[in-house]
Amino acid sequence: MSDSYEIVIGLEVHVQSRTKSKMFCSCDANYFNTPPNTHVCPVCFGLPGALPVPNKRAVELCIKTALALNCSINQETKFDRKNYFYPDLPKGFQISQYDQPIGYSGYTNIETKEGVKRIGVTRVHQEEDTGKSIHNNGETLLDFNKSGVPLIEIVSEPDFRSKEEVTAYCKRLRQIVRYLGVSNADMERGEMRFELNMSLRKKGDQELPKYKVEVKNIASISVLEKVIEHELKRQYEILENGQTPKQETRGLIDMTGETVSQRSKENEADYRYFPEPDIPLIKLSQEMIDEIKNTIPELPQEKKDRYIKEYGIEKDTAEAIINDVDTFLEFESITANVNSQLVSEVSKWFVGDYFSLVNSNKRSKEFKSEWLTELVDMVIQKKITRSNAKEILEESFDTGEYIGNIIKTKGLEMVSDTSVLETVVNRIFTSNLKAVEDARRNPNAAMFLVGQAMRELKGQADAQTVKNMIFDKLKQ
């Protein structure tokens, strides 16, 4: 694409909350891999007389998410009906929120090549999921186990100017909801889904383009990226022909990211939103909001910044550690109560050798990850060599044998006793008289002596220490 256009993207992200029961009824919310239509009740179907009652925990999780995204909270909030017909929605309406969403006017920061960028969060609201339709051989199979599962919708401002920004934001959001314990956000299970609103405008234009293309039901970040690429090409070609792309909803053809026109985009009025008459108003007290605020843990960006500032951990290393909850919990547990130099050194081993072991080898049940810290400490203390440490780690990881035992059995402990080192150096000097003479004239020749000494020590000594000793002795 020529450089004359820029992308304008806004995103709607749906996240399934991790609750035990559904949003408005007591059906079990854990529907994954359950036989069809076994987690449904009259409320799920909206049968006459059914009364939806909001799940308190779900509302709390929505408030928590909104707060973590720096939103203001509507202390008076309510649910509304969004009316439309589709077979996966037998009620004929989805219970959602219209003009008083739980959270509004927030933001979150993402990291881009150009630095930190703030992405506006228009609103965070609570709604319910629909059923699942499977299209198969000319018929559609309906399973309503998913219908009524709590969904948090996070709507962004049209602040994205590149695919990379979109990806960074989606990954950041996924981390945040996982840190909060709001959702597993497992995309394979459909727990996080995306809707893209995209258009192009001439570079330098400040106004939003006159059209907007919406693509719904995008199930993963990688597909989202492909859709953006396809839309970029498609919309660019239309604009270059002097036309304006149609304002419409487009559907995914398959996972290649190609889209096809579905229908002209419905107006908001077509949904005929109105207050859900079966659910009384909700008033959120400041105490309740503050209480929830206090449960928000250190979030990914804060954690990353702290790792860099407090321990001097490298940026990419920090990102790799904070990426998921289990990883940073493990890292923090093995580096608790050690000095920052050691934390920083362990971080390199952790995302380097340790990660590759975790990914490729079978971990022995007896292996304890805090041994990594002990091992790295010994490397810093020059008790073992770096290359031996790698082998020790691998063996310990595979066998579960304590690293100390491996060092002892294999005699890998470095000689750090100066008297032992001096003895060896003296022996090398007396048995290599000619080389000593050469070395006195030409310092480059001294390396031969260092090599001899290291050989005698079987490599179990710090080469720098031995070198210094030999150079000092040569000066005598």
Partner 1 sequence: MNPKDKITIEEVKKIAQLAHINVDDMEAEKYAKQIGDILAYVEKLKEVDTEGYEFKSQTDLINVFREDIPEPSLEQKEVVKNRQKKSKGGSLVIKSVL
Site residues for partner 1 per CB under 8 A:
19-21, 26-29, 35-42, 53-59, 78, 83, 85-87, 133-135, 138-144, 270, 272, 275, 277, 279-283
Token pair in block for residue 442: 């030409």
Nearer CB in complex with partner 1: 78/250: 78
Nearer CB in complex with partner 1: 79/331: 79
Minimum distance from CB of 40 to partner 1 (Å)?
Answer: 6
Burial degree of 419 (CB within 10 A; 0-12, 13-18, 19+): exposed
**DSSP conformational letter for 408:** H
Minimum distance from CB of 59 to partner 1 (Å)?
Answer: 7
Nearer CB in complex with partner 1: 286/381: 286
Cα–Cα distance, 313 to 270 (Å, whole number):
53
Minimum distance from CB of 145 to partner 1 (Å)?
Answer: 9
Alpha-carbon torsion, ordered 71, 75, 78, 84, to 10 deg:
-20
Main-chain phi, psi angles of 255, to 5 degrees: -80, 5
Minimum distance from CB of 221 to partner 1 (Å)?
Answer: 25
Minimum distance from CB of 279 to partner 1 (Å)?
Answer: 7
Nearer CB in complex with partner 1: 253/380: 253
Length of the chain: 476
User: DSSP letters of 195-208?
Assistant: EEEEEEEETT--SP
Nearer CB in complex with partner 1: 77/108: 77
Residue indicated by tokens 């002209």: 264
Main-chain phi, psi angles of 271, to 5 degrees: -80, -10
CB burial string 257-278: b at 16+ within 10 A, e below: bbbeeeeebeeeeebebeebee
Residue indicated by tokens 């109105």: 274
Minimum distance from CB of 179 to partner 1 (Å)?
Answer: 20
Minimum distance from CB of 292 to partner 1 (Å)?
Answer: 14
Residue indicated by tokens 């559609």: 140
Minimum distance from CB of 76 to partner 1 (Å)?
Answer: 9
Nearer CB in complex with partner 1: 142/435: 142
Cα–Cα distance, 156 to 72 (Å, whole number):
14
Nearer CB in complex with partner 1: 36/181: 36
Exposure on the CB side of residue 23, measured as CA atoms within 13 A: 25
**DSSP conformational letter for 24:** S
Biggest distance spanned by C-alpha atoms of the chain: 104
Nearer CB in complex with partner 1: 139/188: 139
Nearer CB in complex with partner 1: 272/363: 272
**DSSP conformational letter for 188:** G
Minimum distance from CB of 136 to partner 1 (Å)?
Answer: 8
Exposure on the CB side of residue 313, measured as CA atoms within 13 A: 30
Token pair in block for residue 145: 């186990």
